[in-house]
Structure 1
Amino acid sequence: MIIELNDTSTKEIAAELLRARQSVGGTGGMVHTLIVVAEDHNSADVFEAAQASARVHPSRVIVVVYSDSGDPHLDAEIQVGEGTPGDLLALRIHGSEIREHAGSVILPLLLPDSPTIVWWPHEAPENPANDPVGALGDRRITDAAGSENPKVALTTRARNHTPGDTDLAWTRLTRWRALLAASLDQYPHTVTGAVVKAAHDNAPAMLLAAWLEDRLDVEARMEVHERPGVSEVRLETADGDIVINRGNSDAIALYNVPGQPERKVALKRRPLTELLTEELQRMDADDIFEAAVGRVLVKVGP
């Protein structure tokens, strides 16, 4: 069922959503509300990722699209049933007057007694927790890689970090961090230094170097590599280096531990949908991420 409402109000949207829900069934299977905040020119991929995540975590998805065109007003599209795993609400907010009060527009549409997650796929506010929409969230997900200046965006996130904040730059490192931790279990030698090779202005690489420094208490140097993303991580020890090198592959890396044969390991570049789905699996604050972004500030200085 698809319901379109033009020049509407939150009260009318809530009433239509209730009527639609009564005709197709209740909201008992939905576990949270996901609010996605996007700009008018980059909302297409956001819809796809939000719908895909709802198939794994049935939820109420509210996609908020800001537009500066036309007089201040609110348009909405409601999708329930017909294969939609939960509710999908698309709110198009026209005009800065309504945009400044977007939190008040969205608040009555949240699922009661369940967590709320706010996701900014591209540019995000400097302080997500103080944003009118971000303040509604139990967790707030940003993506420095979707910003015009990823390293600057990550540094800004670090300066304004609030428990419950995370960034998909961190999620992109999940497999890297697991492999590096496993390598030190296999080869428990003292690490004296680290090197992270990555493309210029790569936010995950900056965060990975900060994490290594925080966990290992060593200097993690960054080197520019022509391949996109993180290409190699090297942990230096007195008896040889632990090396994970992705080379020219987007899915397989070479894994070297001193004294052992070289191995191939899966290290694929994960799509946006997979990253979002992983982040929606946890509702608690991530203390390790908080420590890593704190180290980012140490690396970049005041």
Structure 2
Amino acid sequence: MTLYLPYTTTAQIVEELSKEQRTIGGAHNMVLTLVIATGEADHYDAVRAATEAAREHPSRILVLIRRDPDEESRLDAEIRPPGIAGPGEVLLLRLYGELGDHPDSVVTPLLAPDAPIVVWWPGVGPSDPSTDPLGRLAQRRITDAQRADSSVRDLLDRVAHYHPGDTDLTWTRITPWRSLLASTMDRPCGWVTDAEVEAEEDFPSADLLAAWLADQLEIPVRRTISSGPAITGVRLITESEEISVSRPDGRVATLSRTGRPDQRVALPRRGSTEALAEELRRLDADEVYHDSARSVGVMFAEGATS
């Protein structure tokens, strides 16, 4: 059953976790600690996504919820043992007052023993995750530029402070697009001479996809604006044919190639659960993301000076 500990301390939480572990061995099979830094409004969806992802990656989930910074410092905790929402414990930690300025001091005693640490900011994350108090503890730092008011600008600010281990869900959401395009290019089609990515305005996933294509094909890739939703199409012109992927509804795409019948391909927009689960599969630096994100910065810098 869920245990509620108002006005508690980390020592009391550790004691309760130790009691649980002696009973059911809760933390022994945890492959990582997932720390979620969020607000009250976003925590429900974040916990749901994390617990679903934890079915593939058993984790101790620590959810830090920043509350009123003007109140007296205190810590309220809610402990959900394994089996209630997933294979590992879920700890909801509400930080009031000045305690919210020192989340690392709360997290450190609660980390699963000998397990890697991943920090996820499901809302607007820091511009430099590696220097954030929580980010300094982690091997992987996951942000989501799509949640910012100016999504592309948010991504560019973070790219400027990139450190190995940083990643963003705007990148992970385009994995199905990258897989489809890569498999399409596996067939003989000649050199690609022109390329275009079409998507709604201020959608950084589209800019990352265009940058990735430009890096892979070694040609400039146009980024054009559509009414959406999200990425609506990619067009490649080769020496021998035109290849296009059109997805006007955000769910099913049509793959067209010159002289061949059209193909319908399931290509639904990815939610946070699928994207987070993919990110948790690797704890090393994602060099392909780094290269593509850096190329986005170059593309925008060249656009600003041209």
TM-score, reference length from structure 2:
0.94
What is the CA–CA distance in structure 2 between the aligned matches of 1:64 and 1:195, rounded to whole Å?
41
Question: Are the aligned partners of 1:169 and 1:203 in contact in 2 as well (CA < 8 Å)?
Answer: yes
- 2:248 aligns to what? 247
What is the CA–CA distance in structure 2 between the aligned matches of 1:54 and 1:209, rounded to whole Å?
31
- 2:284 aligns to what? 284
Please show how residues 16-165 of structure 1 align to structure 2 within 5 Å. 16-68=16-68, 70-83=71-84, 84-95=86-97, 97-165=98-166
Alpha-carbon distance, 1:203 to partner: 1.0
The amino acid across from 1:88 in the alignment is V
- 1:3 aligns to what? 3
Which deviates more, 80-89 or 206-215? 80-89
Which deviates more, 140-149 or 74-83? 74-83
Question: Are the aligned partners of 1:21 and 1:80 in contact in 2 as well (CA < 8 Å)?
Answer: no
The answer to whether 1:198 aligns with 2:186 is no
What is the CA–CA distance in structure 2 between the aligned matches of 1:211 and 1:80, rounded to whole Å?
42
Post-superposition CA distance 1:73-121 (Å, at most 9, x none): 11111111344411110111112x2222111210111112111111111
Question: Are the aligned partners of 2:26 and 2:82 in contact in 1 as well (CA < 8 Å)?
Answer: no
Q: Secondary structure at the match of 1:86?
A: coil
- 1:217 aligns to what? 218
Taking only the aligned residue pairs, the percentage that are identical comes to 41
Q: Secondary structure at the match of 1:259?
A: coil
What is the CA–CA distance in structure 2 between the aligned matches of 1:264 and 1:159, rounded to whole Å?
38
Question: Are the aligned partners of 1:187 and 1:257 in contact in 2 as well (CA < 8 Å)?
Answer: no
Q: Secondary structure at the match of 1:214?
A: helix
Alpha-carbon distance, 1:132 to partner: 0.2
Q: Structure 2 stretches of 5 or more lacking a match?
A: none
Question: Are the aligned partners of 2:234 and 2:245 in contact in 1 as well (CA < 8 Å)?
Answer: yes
Q: Structure 1 stretches of 5 or more lacking a match?
A: none
Tell me how many residue pairs correspond in the alignment.
300
Runs (4 or more) in structure 1 with deviation over 4 Å come to none
Q: Secondary structure at the match of 2:91?
A: strand
Question: Are the aligned partners of 2:8 and 2:75 in contact in 1 as well (CA < 8 Å)?
Answer: yes
What is the CA–CA distance in structure 2 between the aligned matches of 1:193 and 1:107, rounded to whole Å?
51
Which deviates more, 75-84 or 282-291? 75-84
What is the CA–CA distance in structure 2 between the aligned matches of 1:268 and 1:183, rounded to whole Å?
18
Cα RMSD (Å) of the superposition?
Answer: 1.5
- Distance change in 2, residues 1:259/1:275 (3 Å): same
Post-superposition CA distance 1:24-77 (Å, at most 9, x none): 334222111001111122222112111211222111000111112522211111
TM-score, reference length from structure 1:
0.95
Question: Are the aligned partners of 1:197 and 1:230 in contact in 2 as well (CA < 8 Å)?
Answer: yes
